[in-house]
Each structure stands twice: as C-alpha cells, then as structure tokens.
Chain A
C-alpha cells in the first residue's frame, strides 16, 4: 500500500524556470492538498481539491497553479520559479465525504531549491 507518492524527491531550479510537482494517491480519497513547509512557519496550504474537477486557493497560492488530473493525481506547477519558492512541498489526501474528522495522509515531500 503506497499511500501518497510524490515525485521528484529533490529538485534544483534556476530563477525563472518552470516545473511540475507530481502527486498520486492510491487510497481512493476525494480530497487532495498541497502544502509548503518553511522553517518556523509550519505548514501553509497552497491549493486544495475537494473532489475531482474542483480546485480552490489556500493561504499562499501566488506563483502556483494546480491540476486535478483525475481522482488519483493532483499536480502543482511553478510557472516561473523564484528564490522565495525554495521550500519543502507536501502533498496530502483525505477521505472526508461522510467521515467525521478524517485525517490527512501525507507524502514524503519534495525538497525544492531555487537559485
């Protein structure tokens, strides 16, 4: 049971380059999320998708776009990377339809450095 799988694990970009972070879950969850983690800031929500075909902005969406490709996959795209986007990115999923208080399940993260 793989859970939530993120690729790549590490990435170095130059300012202005673009890239897509991939995320897939095999738990048949409805909701998927992208967070970024920075020292002393905790986790901040970038975008989320409550169900296939819908996406919504979170706390820090500027500079990012997302695609909910199907129920399993939710990708995060940086169109023009900036040094401020150096961070660890986590994808998560949750089965919350009809299940009170269902927790998030996290991937192992993508460590992105923008120089």
Chain B
C-alpha cells in the first residue's frame, strides 16, 4: 500500500528565504509523485509532478522538486519565498501499473511567509 509523510504541519520562512517542504513516500512499485498547492477557500492546484525521466522536476511559480529513490523522498523547494507563496501544500503518490490508480495525499504543510 502506498503512503505519504509530510514532515512539519507548519513551516515558517521570511520573504526571500529558501523554502523547503519535505515529503517521504512509501510505495511497493515505482511511484508517480505530485505536489499540489491550496490557497484559502479554493481547491487544490497542481504545482508539479514526477512520472519518469529527469529526477529534478520544475513546476509553476518557481518551485521544483527532486525525486530521490534511495531516500524515498520528493522534497519541494523554492530559492526565494514570496508573500504570495503562503498556502497549504500537499504531496501525493500514485502507483504505476495500476489501471485505475488513486492518489494518496499527505496531511499537508502550511507555509507561512513573513515580511
């Protein structure tokens, strides 16, 4: 069975600082990995995804994530935080070779950005 662990329910950074949101997954087969962002009172929007190929994936709004199989991790980073990045971020995993696979989400990390 697949599962996702996000370390830290809240992460606080200053504007301009590095953003690092951690995600570790468990999967019995090579996974597909996703990061979603949720702004207040909205649904989830896709930030980026890893399927195959290059392990460093670039997404929208300057975010990127690196798939590390040996560490079963898919951490999300951004070099310089903006106030507009304040939101909740969810990591999700979906298993390959499953005809109608579902996504399993982590519990989310709230990113707080201070001036």
Contact = CB atoms under 8 A, between A and B. Distances in A.
Given A40-B9, A42-B108, A109-B43, A103 B100 contact: no
Contacts of B26: none
Interface in A30-46: 31, 33, 35, 40-45
Contact of A100 (B41, B42, B44, B52): B52
Interface of A: 4, 31, 33, 35, 40-45, 48, 50-51, 58, 90, 92, 96, 100-101, 103-109
Interface size grouping (class) on chain B: 20 to 34
Contacts of B42: 108-109
Nearest to A33: B102
Describe B's contact surface by its main secondary structure. Answer: loop
Interface of B: 9, 32, 34, 41-46, 49-52, 90, 94, 96, 99-108
A106 B100 contact: no
Contacts of A90: 43-44
Contact of A101 (B45, B94, B104, B107): B94
A101 B43 contact: no
A101 B50 CA distance: 8
Given A42-B90, A108-B43, 16 more contacts: A31-B100, A33-B102, A35-B105, A40-B107, A42-B106, A42-B107, A50-B99, A50-B100, A51-B100, A90-B43, A90-B44, A92-B43, A101-B32, A101-B52, A108-B42, A109-B41
A48 B102 contact: yes
Contacts of B44: 43, 90, 92, 104, 106
Contacts of A109: 41-43
Nearest to A43: B105
B100 A96 contact: yes
Nearest to B101: A96
Given A40-B9, A96-B101, A107-B43, A101 B108 contact: no
A41 B106 CA distance: 8
Contacts of A104: 34, 44, 46, 103
B52 A103 contact: no
